[in-house]
A = this chain, B = another copy of it.
């Protein structure tokens, strides 16, 4: 028990220092290690297993909607990056430059891809000929590099892992439909598989992706009320196609430019999981992506028959859940603390008395609720409890968001909330960059998005008093 206590004490309480609590979890749940390469992280087996589950579930959704995976080079020649003006301005200041190959200086230096629109366009220009080949719907899983100054595991690192979808279409309508479909896939994935409620909306021009006509986003709220942009989907019109000379011969035999999209989510989603669901005991993992959904902890494991029964249950449960039997020599108390830290959704305890009664104890990670379950009922009880837990952590996150969302119609109201607890501030907006900049300057808030679900809070922009065009959600963001 002393070991158990020690382990729990080692985490900073969530409401005492959220930043330190977050770092503690990243390290103590063995998700990441810092590396010698400044600003880069190492994904350890438990962290990578979460990412593998995320990749697996999303990849299935991408393929079901007709996307194919490809692999592009990790380098972009400087001359290629410069072809689209807004894009190069957005990314050039934050890329890593390869200037030497072996001992030879390169003529055209190469940046390590921060994103791959330019490479995909270059490829599309090679392989596209006719409208019959459209749409081309590609995706790649890889890592990209952005030379950030301040870094934190999962949230902002110089290298991070992601997927980037890149598609081209015959018409603008189809490309816009694709952009929206992918945003909806992200939102559905976040809500139903990561159990994180998100707001779907459009970014303001100031916040949109470098080179995009429109950027759609899903915004999540973390436990501390800060916002986390969790996935984006961009519509490019035919801007990149024109810049890169991507053309096809159309139904009417004229040469045309295709319309383009890109969309991505990153390992940042793991940061969102930690900061949405975690508590003082550590991580709480959504069942859909938990490396282990159930951990079996034998109690009084030295007593005859206990380990055998535990192993029998492990083999049986492995047919329908991801299960781990902890048969190490640590005490049950230590194991409880360790697997709570690692966020395993359900703990199954089994000891001599349980075996006598042909039952076991199931303990939910989120609220520690214990249920005695007949061993005959595990095939129904475990999936039910996992579903219940998933719904409960979603509801808890939603409640947190509702409690921390304030509709404001005057600057005074805005400032009052901006100076208080973190959260979302909803206001009307005139659409002018000046007002967006004023919000940053006066209230320290950035626009998260113009939600698809618009409301009418008042007729005027509370910043300038001019007629309002859109409702915007503002917040402090990671």
Residues of chain A having any CB pair with chain B under 8 Å: 33-37, 40-45, 48-49, 51-52, 68-77, 80, 93-103, 110, 112, 119, 122-123, 126-127, 138, 142-143, 145, 147, 158-159, 161
Contact = CB atoms under 8 A, between A and B. Distances in A.
Contact of A68 (B45, B73, B96, B102): B45
Given A37-B76, A99-B99, A102-B147, A70 B48 contact: yes
Contact of A73 (B37, B76, B97, B102): B37
Number of copies of this chain that the complex holds? 2
Contacts of A73: 35, 37, 40-42, 159
Contact of A147 (B71, B93, B101, B126): B101
A159 to B, nearest CB: 6
A122 B35 CA distance: 8
Contacts of A76: 37
B35 A123 contact: yes
A75 to B, nearest CB: 5
Name the residue among A71, A72, A95, A96 with the largest chain B CB count within 10 angstroms: A71
Contact of A43 (B37, B71, B96): B71
B74 A45 contact: no
Contacts of A75: 37, 40, 96, 159
Contacts of A101: 96-97, 147, 158
B99 A94 contact: no
B159 A45 contact: no
A454 to B, nearest CB: 38
A35 B72 contact: yes
A237 B60 CA distance: 42
Contacts of A119: 35-37, 42
Contacts of A37: 73, 75-77, 110, 119
Contacts of A99: 97-100
A407 B161 CA distance: 50
Contact of A74 (B36, B49, B100, B143): B143
A171 B409 CA distance: 70
A89 B37 CA distance: 21
Nearest to A106: B96
Given A71-B48, A97-B99, A80 B122 contact: no
Contacts of A98: 96-99, 112
Contact of A45 (B35, B52, B69, B77): B69
A99 to B, nearest CB: 5
Nearest to A127: B33
Given A49-B68, A97-B101, 6 more contacts: A44-B127, A48-B68, A71-B161, A73-B159, A74-B145, A99-B99
A119 B97 CA distance: 21
Nearest to A44: B70
A145 B99 CA distance: 14
Contacts of A103: 93
Name the residue among A37, A76, A80 with the largest chain B CB count within 10 angstroms: A37
A199 to B, nearest CB: 30
A23 to B, nearest CB: 15
A73 B147 CA distance: 13
Given A99-B99, A101-B147, A122-B36, A48 B69 contact: yes
Contact of A102 (B72, B80, B93, B110): B93
A72 B42 contact: yes
B42 A69 contact: no
A102 B96 CA distance: 6
A115 to B, nearest CB: 15
A101 B71 CA distance: 24
A203 to B, nearest CB: 24
Nearest to A109: B100
A77 B37 CA distance: 6
A81 B76 CA distance: 24
Contacts of A122: 35-36
Contacts of A72: 35, 42
A159 B74 contact: yes
A50 to B, nearest CB: 11
A250 to B, nearest CB: 17
16 contacts: A33-B123, A34-B126, A35-B72, A35-B73, A35-B122, A36-B77, A43-B71, A45-B138, A48-B71, A49-B69, A71-B143, A94-B102, A96-B101, A98-B98, A99-B100, A101-B147
